[in-house]
């Protein structure tokens, strides 16, 4: 079952840096994310949300592209592919695999100026690899749906910045 983890940081850049570290671990096949977003509140209090394409959009785009290519293959292959990808992405976005925008806004409003937050939905992970990726960073867990022992371990690692 996917787990939602929200970590807040005392500076504007760290959430993005942590997401990049997690993405490197994902590219090595040691973690699998369904969705991620970085929220930054700048010095003026303006909120910026940087969302990655979620898994539902990716799956929908691929499936829609394949169906569009098959259906349009005889007459308009490129048009069928483009229409299928666009339609599939829209359908994938509506499957509600991602992070709720209202929750993102709630967390964003709670941030101080020049602070950031990272939202990730983890489908599966090798705990050792995920912990190793987070060790260089210091943050505070805002919310998690992890098991209590895993949550405690994550909290400890984020407090013990190396």
State the pLDDT at residue 116.
94
Domain enclosing residue 128, as ranges: 3-53+98-159
Residues 109 and 154 in one domain: yes
What number is the average pLDDT over the span 80-88?
47
Whole-number Å distance between alpha carbons of 157 and 113: 24
Residues 42 and 78 in one domain: no
Residues 108 and 154 in one domain: yes
Residues 111 and 155 in one domain: yes
Residues 63 and 137 in one domain: no
pTM, full prediction? 0.67
Residues 146 and 120 in one domain: yes
pLDDT over 60 (residue 17): yes
**Sequence-distant contacts of 134-138: CB under 8 A, at least 24 apart:** 134/18, 134/21, 134/22, 134/158, 135/160, 135/161, 135/162, 136/21, 136/161, 136/162, 137/9, 137/14, 137/17, 137/18, 137/21, 137/161, 138/9, 138/10, 138/14
- How many domains, in total, are found in the chain? 2
Residues 70 and 142 in one domain: no
How high is the mean pLDDT of the chain?
73
């Amino acid at each position: 079952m996917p787990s939602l983890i929200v970590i807040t940081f005392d500076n504007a850049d760290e959430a993005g840096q942590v997401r990049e570290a997690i993405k490197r671990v994902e590219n090595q096949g040691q973690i699998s994310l369904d969705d991620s977003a970085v929220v930054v509140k700048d010095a003026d209090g303006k909120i910026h949300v940087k969302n990655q394409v979620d898994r539902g959009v990716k799956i929908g785009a691929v499936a829609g592209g394949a169906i569009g290519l098959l259906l349009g293959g005889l007459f308009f292959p490129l048009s069928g592919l483009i229409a299928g990808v666009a339609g599939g992405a829209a359908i994938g976005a509506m499957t509600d695999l991602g992070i709720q925008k209202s929750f993102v806004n709630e967390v964003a409003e709670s941030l101080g100026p020049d602070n950031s937050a990272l939202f990730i939905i983890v489908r599966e992970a090798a705990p050792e690899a995920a912990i190793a990726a987070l060790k260089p960073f210091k943050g505070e867990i805002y919310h998690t749906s992890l098991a209590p022992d895993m949550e405690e371990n994550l909290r400890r690692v984020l407090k013990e910045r190396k």
